Structure 1
Amino acid sequence: MIGQRIKELRRGKGYSISKLALLAGVSKSYLSYIERGLRNNPSLDFLSRIAEPLDTTVDFLLNEQVKTLFQDTNIDEEWKILLNKAIDNGMTKEDFLTLQNFIEFKNWKIQNS
């Protein structure tokens, strides 16, 4: 879990939640929610702010989460390739959600015509 990874790195640096939040310029309460697993999808902006004072990278923070996504689900190989290609081409979670919302709207419109 990403929150656990952040917590371990923070403790390894000897930082309190307050100290890391101050160094990263993020909300102490939001950081606490992430660490406790009450929020599970921090933005890339948040992760990049946290990564710097922890002397790590966003990739490192996300690595375990991405591996878990592919290992714990029944995503076939074609989906993995498509997802990786989209990410490599710069697609963000927000882009994906926008596309998903468009498809839902399109399907709704077809059903209600």
Structure 2
Amino acid sequence: MVGEKIKEFREKKGMTIIELSNQSGISKSYISSIERGIQENPSIQILDKLSIALGVALNQILECNPNIDEEWIRLVKMAIKEGMTKQDFLEYIQFFQFKKRNTDRV
């Protein structure tokens, strides 16, 4: 899904993968693998660089979930900047689910 959106925006801009690569600093082979769905989970940093190079908001690329707004994106970027990893985020979600289950029992 994300790859399809990137390709759609790139083609609307009349850009080649090489041009997008040069403007974003992301290798053309990696961009190609995202567009073809081989790389299904690129990092938010990669998607942010691509969105800037394409001149679109990051949430337009992540349109697959309309509940993601600019505030969520800002919070995720802040967490990444502070050093949070995908694994940290998954562990937090698991902790939150555990806490919620135990709170619901009371």
TM-score bucket (shorter structure)? 0.5 to 0.7
**Secondary structure of 1:33's partner?**
helix
Q: TM-score, normalised by structure 1?
A: 0.62
Q: TM-score, normalised by structure 2?
A: 0.65
User: What does residue 57 of structure 1 align with?
Assistant: 57
The AA in structure 1 aligned to 2:90 is L
Shift of 1:99: 4.1
* C-alpha contact (below 8 Å) 2:59/2:73 kept by paired residues: no
Task: State the distance in 2 between where 1:41 and 1:18 align.
Answer: 21
Deviation track 1:59-95 (CA, whole Å, cap 9, x = no partner) reads 111121x25xx9xxxxxxxxxxxxxxxx589466713
User: What does residue 3 of structure 1 align with?
Assistant: 3
Q: Gaps spanning 5+ residues in structure 1: where?
A: 71-86, 103-113
User: What does residue 26 of structure 1 align with?
Assistant: 26
2:89 matches 1:96: yes
User: What does residue 35 of structure 1 align with?
Assistant: 35
Q: Gaps spanning 5+ residues in structure 2: where?
A: 80-84, 96-106
Deviation track 1:35-56 (CA, whole Å, cap 9, x = no partner) reads 0000111111101100112110
The RMSD of aligned alpha carbons is 2.8
Shift of 1:29: 0.8
Shift of 1:25: 0.5
**Secondary structure of 2:34's partner?**
helix
C-alpha spacing 1:101/1:52, structure 2 compared with 1 (3 Å) = same
Max radius of gyration: which structure? 1
User: What does residue 100 of structure 2 align with?
Assistant: none
C-alpha spacing 1:50/1:100, structure 2 compared with 1 (3 Å) = same
Task: State the distance in 1 between where 2:5 and 2:41 align.
Answer: 14
